Each structure stands twice: as structure tokens, then as C-alpha cells.
Structure 1
Amino acid sequence: MGIEEALSHQSRLDLREELLAANDKFILEIPKVELHVHIEGTLTVDMRWKFTQRNSAKLKLFSNGPEMHSLEEIQAAMQATMPDPTRMNNNEERDIFFESYFEGFQALQTKEDYYDLAMNYFEQAASMNVRYCEPFFDPQGHTSRGVHWDVMMGGFKEAQMEAEERLNIKSGWIMCFLRDSPVESAMEHYKAALPYRDMIVGIGLDSCEEDRPPVLFEEVFTLARRDGFKLTMHCDVDQKDTPEHIRQCLSVVAEGGLDRIDHGLNISDHQNLIDLALKRDLALTICPWSYLRMTTYAQLGPRIRALYDAGIKITINSDDTAFMDDCWILHNMLAAKRLCGFNDGDILVLARNAINVCWALQSVKEKMHQELDMVYNKFYPNQ
């Protein structure tokens, strides 16, 4: 299927159905850990419609676009924004994605909205045997609209507690700063988030990284490390200055480097970055379906495989499901297996990586390892 060029939206949908039809029972059954999912990126058009109707608010796909007056209208508009390699370059796709992504925040206004958004994610994740997750959230995109922290965090907290009790899925939140917002805003939000540190396990950095290197945020990340938070940052794929941003994340920011890197696929292109990542024993949160929108099928598998074969601890995750053809961690693990020629032993390593590098309590990790061993022994009793 057109492996020498980026896949169209329909081709990606066809691939998703083909992967599911294979009925890979091993991947279906293993316990999973998700370390890279944006909770706002799971906001479907159906939820946008539901929330805006509930709140008597206006619904748009873009801030300067027309108001939508039906679910069918926004569904059609959303489909039209899906990347198509015949008409869109990566920068255009990136800009359209961010504009639609952040406009979706407008739908979130009440504690109930935030609860419903988080619970939808937890229910989907639990159905795929996710046992632990660390969702990202972007507080600046909410407080800038007048949403109070207690509204946002209260909704997330209720869903988090219910998910643990009802769905057997534990979680810790990663608060991300918007790197294209002022550094001063990041510090303000860091201080404002401290009352919620019982929920927040890590601090991250996301949004458009063009001309916004990690070192700009040195002060707030150093403070967060000293306060005991785990640290990560996005280093998006094939963007301007991505290798230099990776180098800063590996060895400079927060007095010597971070605890994880989100994406970081470009490490595979540079031996010096591979060596540095191995020296730091730094893990990467890889999201295959996200990259299928921007790179060729033929190129992607070898790049991920190169990271794995080098011994770098990669993990497989979903990113922004509402913008990634409704593909969750299950679809991404199936895609990684196909793209990279992984066998079940490799999938076992990836699952162990995720458990080992997550920021859960050691007792939680040990329980997940035990469950993973049970599933593997079920399929491979003599190994």
C-alpha cells in the first residue's frame, strides 16, 4: 500500500482496519502503560458538540472560522482538515492541527466537561488493558479563557479516582507548558499548580517548538526538579532545529538533562544523539500513528527500529486520538509491530520499557510486571 509516500487519510483508515482484523491476541491481552497522550487531544467532535450544546456556547473548528450548527457539519469540517500528502506540507499540517486543537479547548467550561473528557479517555484506555497512564494537560489553554484551576483539576480528579476504583487503571498527570507562550506564564502556572501536586507527577513542554528551544525554560524546569517532579519535553519529528532541541533535553536542561523525551524520533538520524541517549539511559515516548501523517510508511519503520536495536528504551503511545484517525495505544502497538517487524518478544520488551520508565509507585510497577509475565507465559509456556 503506497509505502513510498505518506499515507492518505483513507489509507490510514484502511491500515487501521487491516491491523485490527489480524486479531493479534498477544497485544490485545498484555497490560499496557501509556506515557504520551494529550487529554485535550482526545476531545472528539462528538464531545465538542455535546459540551457546547450543554453550555449554550458557540462551536467552531477554527477561531476565525464559521460557527458550526450541527454535529454533521463539524464532522465534515474535521474530515476536511485531515492531512493529505497530495495537498499539504508538514508545516501546513502542523499549523492546521494546532489551530483546531486549541480551538477545541473552548468547549471545556465546567467541571462536568473536564470529568467527561477524562473519563472517556480512561474508559477507552481500560478497554485496551491499560493499567497505568500519565496523561498530559495544558493548563494555560484553559486559565487563559477564565477557567479556574479547581474546575479543571476537580473534573480530572473525580475521573481519576473513579477510573482507579471502577476500571483498574491508575494514573498520574503531567502538566505541560505551552512553549510558544511566554516563559513568565510557565512559571506562574507552575506555582499555581503546586496545590495539586498530589495529582501531578511530572512537568512537560509541548505546542509549537519553532524558535522555542528547551533552554528558554531552564529556570522553571530546574525548580520543578528540585521540588521533586519528573521532567519531560516534546521534541517533535523533523521540525526546525529538532536535533539541537534533543541535545539540550539530553544534556543541558534542568542541570544535566531530563527524565524522558516525548517523540525524539530524530535521535535515530544522529549517532552522537544515540550515544548520548544511551549514556543517559533516557526513554522516548514514541507515537507511530502520529508520524504516519507526516512521513512515509517505508521510512518510519526503520527509524523506530533503529532506536530499538540501539538499545534505547522506547515506549509506544497514542498522542492525540481525535486527530489521529481514532487510533489509541492498541492501534499504535499493532502499527509498530507491522512497521518494525517486531515479534512478540520485542513487544514484551516495549511493554516492560513502559512499566520501568513510568512514574508510578514501585509497588504498582511490580504488580504490572507480574501480570505481564502471566500473559506472556500463557502464550509462551515453555520459554
Structure 2
Amino acid sequence: MVNQVTYNHRKEVNGDDGRPTFLEAYFAGCQVLVTEEDFYDLSMDYFSRCAKMNVRYCEPFFDTQAHTERGISVPTILNGYLRAQKDGLEKYGVKSNWIFCFLRDRPLQEGLDAYTAARPWATLAGGDGKGLFHAVGLAANEFEKPPLLFEEGFRMAKEDGLHITMHCDVDQKDAADHVREAIFDVCGGQGTERIDHGLNALDKPELIPALKGRSIGLTLCPHAYHRRQKTEILFPKITRLIREGIMLCINSDDPTYMHNVWIDGNMQKVYTYCDLSKKEMVQLCKNGVKMSWADNQTKTDLIQELDRVDVT
């Protein structure tokens, strides 16, 4: 028997009706990760599923704070992930570069300490570091936690030569303002390189030319929004972003907590409900390659393979 769990996505808005939020369920699930082998096995299961969906390259998000607070050491976590990064490529042909996240509902200093501890596993400027992660981002509840709260962490990462992505959840309080802040204010006004989600950019029309002018892409996860928005409301928004020429790609959002809907299911939803052509679907895949932080050879190989897809 499969238990059907529903979430109260916004306790801050909806009130507490006894159901867990998605994040409460997620962090509760983290409790089973204890040993290096646990983190390795989790990652290898993920790469196995990627291979079955014909995914060749991915950029998984992770954090350490949810584990170190339970007494799990940073080497236990990151050595497990690092071994899986190598073995996932060798066994399944899935190349990965990872993204370290600051937990935005925790104190800034805790996040800075977490980054400092994880730094030896990064891909640092000059070729130093163990090469597990090459970017930083944000995770956890962003209610009244705007991006600039972690500006110091972003600056540290940029000085180390890492990329910056910015989580701007959909329909959260001040969501469009978070997008604006990500574009114009973080990293000393240079802006983020990508925005995760960011659908509420449509709430402020001036943000659309700003995204285009600064070449900031959006990583959309349609199923995550479809759980809370009607089909006839959500997918015209995504279609509009595509027609406006915004660089966006389709992703999965914690799929095991999202009704087991992975990247293939998210792509299928966009294909069906946005009424896209096969050529447009291939272009979304190309966008994902262009927006990624893969090495140039990996990008070239993937684009050439996509060019061979029959879209007639």
C-alpha cells in the first residue's frame, strides 16, 4: 500500500492544519542519512534513475547543515557524494557538477561556517579543490528571507571562482521582489547568473527585459507549481515566458517528494499543456545545456546530439 501524503505548502499563509510542509517532510527524510555509504547510495540511486531517463548531465543541489546538526561530519557527507560523482559517470554515464546551498532559514554565520567547511570539496579558481561542487545557491524556507541576507556567502563563493544561482520560490511572500533583488542587487549589483523558479517575474513587467538584458535563465519545475495552480492559470504563464524569449529550461524539484514526477514528467507536462512543438521541446533541452555550468566539450557534445533529433 502506498500512503498518499499531502502538504500544507504555506503554513505562514494557510495556517497550521496538522499537515506537514514539504520542507518538514524533506528534512524528516534526511534523518536516515548517517554514514558515508548512505550518502553514496542515495546519489547512486539518483544517477541510476537519471540514466534510465537518458539524462547525461545534471547539477544536483545539496546542503550540509541539515546533517551536521545531527552530528554527521562534513567529510562523511561530501566524501560519499564525491565517490558517487565519479562512479555515477563511470557506471551510468551521468556527468554531474553539484551546487552547495545555504539554508536560508538558518543564521547567516552558520551558513558561512558550513561553506568554509565544505570549501575543500569545491572546484576552486586555479584548479584547486576536489571538484564536487562548482556553484552555490539557496534552499529551505524563504518566507521573509530575501536573497541579500546571504550576500556575504555569495561574495565568498565568487571570490573562490564559483557560480551563483538564486532560489526564488513561486508565490512566496514578496516573490517578485526576491526576483528583482536577485537580478539587480546580489553580488554587489552584478546579479545572479541563474534564478531557480522565478515564475513571479511576470508579476512585475519590468523584470522581463531585465532577465533578457542580463541573460539570466530560469530553471522551472512545472509539476511543483501544478500542485497548487490550475492548469489554465499556470501553463499560459510558462508559454508567455517562452514567447517573450526568456532563457528557461525544465527541471525536476525533489521528485521523490513531488509525487515521483521526475524530469521526464515535467517535460511531458510542458509539451502537453503549453502545446509546444518537438522543435520547441528540443530548444528547451538546448537551453538547459547553454544555462548549465558544464565544461565546453560537454556542452558541445550535447548540443550536437540534440541537433540530430528529428523534429519533423
Q: TM-score, normalised by structure 2?
A: 0.92
Flag the 1:215–1:379 CA change in 2: closer, same or farther, 3 A.
closer
Over 3 Å counting, the alpha-carbon distance change for 1:275 and 1:220 in structure 2 is: same
CA distance in 1, matches of 2:233, 2:154: 34
Gaps of 5+ in 2: 123-130
Counterpart contact for 2:8–2:21, Cα < 8 Å: no
Q: Which has the larger radius of gyration?
A: 1
Secondary structure of the structure 1 residue equivalent to 2:187: helix
Shift >2 Å, 4+ stretches: 80-84, 89-95
What amino acid is aligned across from residue 121 of structure 1 in structure 2?
Answer: Y
For 1:357, give the aligned amino acid: M
Distance 1:284 1:80 in 2: 29
Alignment of 1:1-383 (within 5 A): 75-76=2-3, 79-81=4-6, 96-197=21-122, 198-255=131-188, 256-374=190-308, 376=309, 378-380=310-312
Task: Encode CA deviations 1:228-258: one digit per residue, 9 max, x unaligned.
Answer: 1000121011110111110110111012211
Change (3 A) 1:230 1:95: farther
Measure how far apart 1:342 and its partner are.
0.8
* Structure 2 equivalent of residue 58 of structure 1: none
Contact 1:214 1:245 in 2 (8 A): yes
Partners in 2 of 1:168 and 1:145 — Cα distance? Answer: 33
1-structure distance, mates of 2:114, 2:5: 35
Please report how far the alpha carbon of residue 91 of structure 1 lies from its aligned counterpart in structure 2 after TM superposition. Answer: 6.7
Instruction: Give how far 1:312 is off.
Output: 0.7
Count how many residue pairs are aligned between Structure 1 and Structure 2.
299
CA distance in 2 between counterparts of 1:161 and 1:117 reads: 14
| Deviation (angstroms), 1:268 | 2.1
Q: Which one-letter code corresponds to 1:230 in the other structure?
A: H
**Structure 1 residue 220, shift from structure 2 partner:** 1.2
* 2:8 and 2:20 in contact (8 A); partners too: no
Counterpart residue type for residue 250 of structure 1? I
> Residues of 2 paired with 1:81 and 1:242: CA distance?
23
| Greater fraction helix | 1
Instruction: Compare relative contact order (CA 8 Å, sep 6+) and give the higher one, 1 or 2.
Output: 1
Q: Percent identity?
A: 42
Q: Residue 125 of structure 1: SS of its match in structure 2?
A: helix
Structure 1 stretches of 5 or more lacking a match?
A: 1-71
Q: Report the AA paired with residue 212 of structure 2.
A: L
Distance (Å, rounded) in 1 between the aligned partners of 2:89 and 2:167: 27
Aligned mates of 1:254, 1:321 — CA distance in 2: 30
Report deviation, 1:185. 0.8
Instruction: Show the counterpart of 1:12.
Output: none
Cα separation, 2, equivalents of 1:311 and 1:81: 35
Provide the aligned C-alpha RMSD in A. 1.7
